[in-house]
Amino acid sequence: MDIIQLLPDSIANQIAAGEVVQRPASAVKELMENAIDAGATHIKLIIKDAGKVLIQVMDNGKGMSETDARMSLERHATSKIRKAEDLFSLRTMGFRGEALASIAAVSQMEMKTRLATEELGTQVVVEASEVKKQEAVACEKGTSISVKNLFYNIPARRNFLKSNSVEIRHIVDEFQRLALAYPNIAFTYVNGEEVEYDLPSGKLSQRIVALFGKNYQQQLVPCEAETEYVKVTGYAGKPEAAKKTRGEQFLFVNDRFIRSNYLHHAVMAAYEGLLPDNSFPFYVLFLHIDPKHIDVNVHPTKTEIKFDDERAVYGVVQAGVRQALGVYSLRPSLDFQNDTNIIEKLNNQSNPRDIYYEERFQTLNQKSNLSNWEKLVEGEWLSKSSSTPHPTDQLSFASNREEEQEGMANAPVVEDAILFQWQNKYIVRTVKPGLMFIDQQAAHERVLFEKFISQLKNKSGESQQSLFPQSVTLGAADFALLMEMEQEVQALGFRFEVFGKNTVLVNGSPPQIANGREKQLFEGLLEQFKINQAELSVPLPENLARALAKRAAIKAGQKLMAEEMRSLADSLMVCRTPNYTPEGTPTFYIFETR
């Protein structure tokens, strides 16, 4: 008996949809790309319930005939490819066809389209690949496609969608990428009843500012480099404007957004020596190259790409960004000896032999332990398990968790313990085994984390009213994220209210935050939350507590009064887990002087 059969079109379309339509943002991308290829000069995107209820894309492009409208819903239908060689010379995104069939297989779709030369257009209604209605209608020139109830016929796929804030963030990402790639096209994005973006056509620099804010006006540096093989144009951000999170790095090849760790490394190499650790510069770079030199079909979403000469592209990208930074006097001069700022950046760790600890240690009257201090001076250090150097790695401390726990248990604080601050980074206090070095930033982070976790658990966050409430304007995705976790943020002690489009007015903050830092900490909370979200898999309350503790903790270099040092040291000792920050960084070390 024969067992191999051809699949029905409806099932085949659902399988294709699994590759093309992974989430609402996938449908947004496909529909907007179709509108771009239709020659539209204005594209409007309307979203309801994060795209789960409605995704509508309207354009004023050339529209379709009645036959083309019906054919666009068939599998393997296309307006671009006539022979195999055409696959290697495509410069467009994809015009109707294929993607529409996949989207229609997992939704209830309505299409209205009209050619400029026709008086009437065509309406097609499809449910799960089945055409329910097709008729002539009066409509605007161009095409309007409404995708309703995405994945309504595949409940398992619908259940795997993330929260609205996550799905909206993906939609905004796709919208921003296409808006950047085509500044000559006007775009409008409506989320629910709110117009999030209304972007007129213009230059790339104007589009960047319209998307990301006026503060980007001062940080854009134009880039341009060209060889016979590839041309690079666009903008790079000034180093001082770099952020701790990825997400504002955009690479386009022939106006198509791509992801490439290899080319990202080329950009980062151009910034070498200019960026703080773990920070990422803003850039929007366009690579223009003959399509015969690339293969875009290495990934279903076409966001990965292969070049036949990757090293040449790497070199041009790096040279373009490096030259731009140099022209605008952002890179250091070649004479590093005369550039003290760069020297300080490249040598941001103090040399332990140059530290002025001798005067400090004399106050402890530890003459009997002179041999230990001589070892310290001579550099006989024991490194901790961490591979990254840290100022405290230079001291001879317990090297693993068990030893530190034991040291903690056997290190009761001496009555009338002497405390002092060393390097404005460490609180040093006497304990019975010798000296305890408390990392003030790590210790405060642990203290705050346990306090915030308790507040979130009991929903009892204290708040102090701000004398001068501050407004905070967020991106559309960040605003949606904030609204989703509003109760948790309030439980931390922040008090805020919606104050216009994507804007909140912060009128209260946790008592631990000094007046005047409310806005900085509020924005930092969201930024750190996103960093944690990308790197960790922890529950939302713990993520929030970690994020605020990290941003609100006192920093290395901050001078403390004697009472502040004593209070912090005592608070650390009563923590449930005093030895480590939430990330696992030691909060203190015992230096045995016996």
* Strand ranges, E, within 97-192: 108-114, 121-127, 130-137, 142-148, 186-191
Integer angstrom CA distances of residue 353 from 261, 350, 376, 388:
39, 9, 9, 19
Residue where the block lists tokens 């796709």: 174
Full-prediction pTM beyond 0.95? no
DSSP string, 344-382: HHHT-S--GGG--HHHHHHTTT-GGGHHHHHHHHHT---
Q: Residue 502: what pLDDT?
A: 84
- pLDDT at site 527: 86
Q: Which helix (H) or strand (E) holds 469?
A: strand 464-473
Q: What is the pLDDT at residue 206?
A: 94
How far apart are the C-alpha atoms of 242 and 268, rounded to whole Å? 11
Enumerate domains of the chain plus CATH numbers: 9-202 (3.30.565.10), 210-327 (3.30.230.10), 349-594 (3.30.1370.100)
Q: Max CA-CA distance within the chain?
A: 101
Dig out the tokens for 259 from the structure: 């992801």
So what's the pLDDT on residue 240?
85
Dump the DSSP string for 381-415.
----S-SS--GGGGS----SHHHHHHHHHT-PBPT
Tokens representing residue 448 in the block:
């705050």
pLDDT of the residue at 38: 92
Q: What is the pLDDT of residue 534?
A: 74
pLDDT computed for residue 56 by the predictor: 97
Report the 3 state secondary structure along 417-435.
CCEEEECCCEEEEEECCEE
Tens digit of pLDDT for each residue in 360-387?
333 333 333 333 333 333 333 222 333 3
Q: What share of the chain is helix, strand, coil (3-state, %, to 5)?
A: 40, 25, 35
pLDDT at 517: 78
Backbone angles phi, psi at 338, to 5 degrees: -95, 5
Instruction: Give the tokens for residue 532.
Output: 């944690």
| Each residue's pLDDT tens digit, 204-261 | 999 999 999 888 888 899 999 999 999 999 999 998 888 877 888 999 999 999 988 8
| pLDDT at residue number 146 | 97
C-alpha distance from residue 227 to each of 269, 313, 319, 321, 561 (Å): 20, 10, 11, 14, 60
As given in the structure block, the two tokens for residue 459 are 């929903």
Residues in the chain with pLDDT values less than 50 = 81-82, 84, 87, 94-96, 330-415
Compute CA distances 174 → 109, 247, 379, whole Å.
21, 12, 54
